[in-house]
Amino acid sequence: MNIASELLKWKGKAEITVKAPGRINLIGEHTDYNLGFVLPAAIDKYIYFAFRKNNSSEEVNLKSLDFCDEYTALLSNIQKSEKTWANYMLGILSQMLNENCLISGFDCVIGGDIPIGSGLSSSAALECGFAFGINKLFGLHYDKMGIAKLGQASENNFLGIKSGILDQFSSVFGKQGHAMKLDCRSMDYEYIPIALKTHSFALINTNVKHSHLTSGYNDRANTCFESVAILNEKIGNIRSLRDVSIEQLNKNKNYLSVIQYKRSNFIINENLRLHSFVKAMENNNVTDMGQLLFETHIGLSQDYEVSCEESDLIVNLSKLEEPVVGARMMGGGFGGCVLLLCRNEGKKDALDRICLKYKTQTEINPEVYHVNLVEGVSLV
């Protein structure tokens, strides 16, 4: 898609063109807003942006090619719109203006190939690519971490989503051929090469759409925060669930509701699984990697309760296929993509069989994505 040429058709010549990638998260789900660990990677599905300054002092014109829609805002009066796609960018503008950034009127065209609602973080790519472009267009002061934090602050403060920084960090800090092990408390991170010899990852999109705005995402976060407050009273020095051991959780189980215990149990175990997964990946132990993915899915489905029948079906179907060594739902939940770790030999036929059975049982057409790991947001 030539976004620059689309802008030429719409308002004039582009000054800056940007691309922002989506992401996969290998393991470490819902641990980011619990200040735990995540293991994401940027992938070669993008949202593209073309920017140009216009002659106004405060008029911002946005055009979405994917939604065939336009929106105009005034910098002096940034408010939520009925157009959800625009709100992710309006939130960035609101956050920048709150931080006293000097911005004047501009035009922006947006379009890309990240499937919306797939769990590949189209929203974070939208936020970070937009913030990156404005930062370049107006010579602002944000570094890479600043761009990622802008995206998270926009979701937290403008959209009211209690998300962590996983998605935005992934879109900004991606590195070709690598995953990123991120400590969401200290923000320390390290790049870990993915060099599997006989296996690779694939995605199957359930084509069941989700949105953090309506999916119960905030309910899960609130329950975790409630558990932290209770456990801190009983144990002390508990800032997040990463500070709690399984032994401590079980010892204080009676102080928590059933739901609080289940959510906490998942998060604590998920952090442990992530560290085990990294060790297995470094040793090219795909059997252990796959088993950990299956365990994560069970936890997401039964303890955290963010899966859905369609995601569960794909995971269960994958267990019948010998080339598939692991699978789990990925992303915030309630639909989207399932991540599979497959042996390269027989992979295509196995994925075809899973998709055929899925379509037969659900009457929904799934989609298979083969992705490469790429660099983060950048100028085109």
Task: Supply the mean pLDDT for the chain.
Answer: 92
- Is a pLDDT exceeding 60 seen at residue 5? yes
Vertex 128: Cα angle to 122 and 133 (nearest 5)? 125
Q: Are 86 and 72 in contact (CB under 8 A)?
A: no
In angstroms, the CA 90 to CA 67 distance is 16
58 burial level (CB within 10 Å; 0-12, 13-18, 19+): middle
Per-residue pLDDT at 14 exceeds 90: no
Q: Look at the pTM and tell me if it is higher than 0.75.
A: yes
344 alpha-carbon distance from chain centroid: 26
Per the rule left: phi > 0, alpha: psi between -120 and 50, beta: everything else, 333 is left
Confidence band for 241, pLDDT divided at 50, 70 and 90 = very high
**Could you give the CA distance from residue 307 to residue 377 in angstroms, rounded to a whole number?**
29
Question: Per the structure block, which two tokens stand in for 175?
Answer: 């590195």
Report the alpha-carbon distance of residue 72 to residue 189 in Å, rounded. Answer: 38
- Are residues 163 and 156 in contact, defined by beta-carbon separation less than 8 angstroms? yes
d(CA 221, CA 11): 42
pLDDT band for 251, please (50, 70, 90 cuts).
Answer: very high
Confidence at residue 213, expressed as pLDDT on a 0 to 100 scale: 46
120 phi/psi in degrees, rounded to 5? -100, 10
Q: What is the mean pLDDT of residues 3-28?
A: 81
Least confident of 110-124, 262-276, 305-319, 329-343: 110-124
pLDDT confidence band for 123 (50 / 70 / 90): confident
Positive or negative, the CA dihedral 257, 263, 266, 272 is negative
Tokens of 243: 């500070």
Residue with tokens 């690598």, as numbered in its chain:
178
- Which pLDDT score, from 0 to 100, does residue 371 have? 87
- Average of per-residue pLDDT across 350-368: 97
pLDDT of 336 > 70? The answer is yes
45-49, 87-91, 118-122, 374-378: the lowest-pLDDT one: 118-122
For residue 185, pLDDT over 80 is answered with: yes
Rounded distance between C-alpha atoms, residue 63 and residue 273, angstroms? 42
Q: Which of 50-64, 78-92, 159-173, 308-322 has the lowest mean pLDDT?
A: 159-173
What's the pLDDT score for residue 12?
64
Specify whether 167 is catalytic.
Answer: yes
pLDDT score recorded for residue 115: 74
**308 is written with which tokens?**
């859905």
- Count of all residues that appear for the chain in the document: 380
User: Is 1 a residue whose pLDDT tops 70?
Assistant: no
pLDDT exceeds cutoff 80 at 182: yes
pLDDT over threshold 70, residue 232: yes
Whether residue 265 contacts residue 175, with contact meaning beta carbons closer than 8 Å, is answered with no
The answer on pLDDT for 323 being more than 70 is: yes
Three-state helix/strand/coil letters over the chain: CCHHHHHHHHCCCCCEEEEEEEEEECCCCCCCCCCCEECEEEEEEEEEEEEEECCCCCEEEEEECCCCEEEEEEHHHCCCCCCHHHHHHHHHHHHHHHCCCCCCCEEEEEEECCCCCCCCCHHHHHHHHHHHHHHHHCCCCCCHHHHHHHHHHHHHHHHCCCCCCHHHHHHHHCCCCEEEEEECCCCCEEEEECCCCCEEEEEEECCCCCCCCCCCHHHHHHHHHHHHHHHHHHHCCCCCHHHCCHHHHHHCHHHCCHHHHHHHHHHHHHHHHHHHHHHHHHCCCHHHHHHHHHHHHHHHHHHCCCCCHHHHHHHHHHCCCCCEEEEEECCCCCCCEEEEEEECCCHHHHHHHHHHHHHHHHCCCCEEECCCECCCCEEC
Residue 237 tokens, joined: 């020095």
Phi-psi category of 63—alpha, beta or left, where left has phi over 0 and alpha has psi -120 to 50?
beta
Which one of 113-117, 200-204, 213-217 scores highest in mean pLDDT?
A: 200-204
Mean pLDDT calculated for residue range 73-82: 94
pLDDT of residue 7: 59
Q: Has residue 116 got a pLDDT over 90?
A: no
> Quick one: average pLDDT of 143-160?
93
pLDDT at res. 209: 73
The structural domains of the chain, ordered by start, are 3-193+375-379 (3.30.230.10), 199-369 (3.30.70.890)
Which stretch, 57-61, 158-162, 214-218, has highest mean pLDDT? 57-61
pLDDT of residue 48: 93
Which of these is catalytic: 32, 44, 69, 167?
Answer: 167
Lowest mean per-residue pLDDT among 63-67, 130-134, 217-221, 352-356: 217-221
> Over the stretch 260-269, which tens digit does the pLDDT of each residue have?
999 999 999 9
| Single-letter code of the amino acid located at 173 | F
**Is residue 171 classed exposed, middle or buried when 0-12, 13-18 and 19+ CB atoms within 10 A define those classes?**
buried
